[in-house]
């Protein structure tokens, strides 16, 4: 089922090597390209920072709107 999804929805070939994280498709990776534990850690930190910034921005905007109603 996952193979069919990857081929039909993500348009990946059966031989493609990709990383799928938080809705992002990274790759395809070259045959000799490595994606190490350090790369996964960096990706996790990047994603956390990206989403945290969006959350903070939304909460700040909501707080500013609430202050204007007082």
- In the prediction, which pLDDT does 61 show? 86
Strand partners, 19: 26
Q: Is residue 33 over pLDDT 90?
A: yes
Tens-digit pLDDT profile for residues 46-69? 988 888 888 988 999 888 777 766
Q: Is residue 70 over pLDDT 70?
A: no
- Per DSSP, the residues of 34-54 read ---HHHHHHHHHHHHHHHHHH
pTM: 0.64
- In the prediction, which pLDDT does 39 show? 96
Share of the chain above pLDDT 90, in %: 53
| Spacing of C-alpha 19 from chain mean position | 10
């Amino acid at each position: 089922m996952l193979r069919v999804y990857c081929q039909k929805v993500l348009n990946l070939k059966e031989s493609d090597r990709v990383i799928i994280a938080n809705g992002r498709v990274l790759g395809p990776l070259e045959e000799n390209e490595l994606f190490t534990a350090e790369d996964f850690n960096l990706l996790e930190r990047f994603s956390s920072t990206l989403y945290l910034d969006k959350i903070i921005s939304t909460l700040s905007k909501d707080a500013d709107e609430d202050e204007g109603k007082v």
